[in-house]
Chain A
Amino acid sequence: MRSIRVLGALAVVTLTGTFALGLGLPATFEQRTYSRMVALHPPLAWTAYVAFGITAAASILYLIPRTRRPRWDAIASASAELGVLFTGLTLITGSLWGRPTWGVWWTWDARLTTTALMLVIYLGYLAQRSIADTASARAMRSAIIGAMAVVVVPINHMAVEWWRTLHQGRSLASLKPGSTLDGDFIAAMLLGFVAMTLSYVWLLVLRTKVIEADNELEAHALTAAIAARRREAVAQ
Chain B
Amino acid sequence: MSGYVVACYAVTIASLAGYAGWVVRRYLAVGRRVTPDESAS
Which residues of A are interface residues toward B (Cβ below 8 A)? Answer: 15, 19, 22-23, 32-34, 36-37, 40-41, 44, 85, 88-89, 92-93, 96-97, 99-100, 199, 203, 206-207, 209-210, 213-214, 217
Q: List 21 A-B contacts (CB under 8 A).
A: A15-B16, A19-B9, A19-B13, A37-B4, A40-B8, A85-B15, A85-B19, A89-B12, A89-B15, A92-B8, A93-B11, A93-B12, A96-B11, A99-B4, A203-B19, A203-B20, A206-B27, A207-B23, A209-B27, A210-B26, A210-B30
Q: A23-B1, A206-B27 are in contact. List 16 more A-B contacts (CB 8 A).
A: A23-B9, A32-B2, A33-B1, A33-B2, A40-B8, A40-B9, A40-B12, A89-B11, A89-B16, A92-B8, A96-B4, A96-B5, A97-B4, A100-B2, A206-B24, A209-B27
The answer for the CA separation of A166 and B20 in the assembled complex, in Å, is 33
The answer for the CA separation of A229 and B3 in the assembled complex, in Å, is 60
Indicate if the CB atoms of A44 and B30 lie closer than 8 Å.
no
Contacts of A203 in B (CB 8 A): 19-20, 23
Of A37, A85, A213, A217, which is within 8 A of B8 by CB?
A37
The answer for the CA separation of A216 and B14 in the assembled complex, in Å, is 31
Q: Contacts A15-B16, A40-B12 hold; do A96 and B7 have CB atoms under 8 A apart?
A: yes
The answer for the CA separation of A179 and B34 in the assembled complex, in Å, is 53
Contacts of A89 in B (CB 8 A): 11-12, 15-16
The answer for the CA separation of A138 and B8 in the assembled complex, in Å, is 37
The answer for the CA separation of A209 and B34 in the assembled complex, in Å, is 12
Indicate if the CB atoms of A34 and B19 lie closer than 8 Å.
no
Give B26 Cβ to nearest chain A Cβ, in Å. 5
Give B41 Cβ to nearest chain A Cβ, in Å. 13
Contacts of B7 in A (CB 8 A): 96
Contacts of A36 in B (CB 8 A): 1, 5
Indicate if the CB atoms of B16 and A92 lie closer than 8 Å.
no
Contacts of B20 in A (CB 8 A): 199, 203
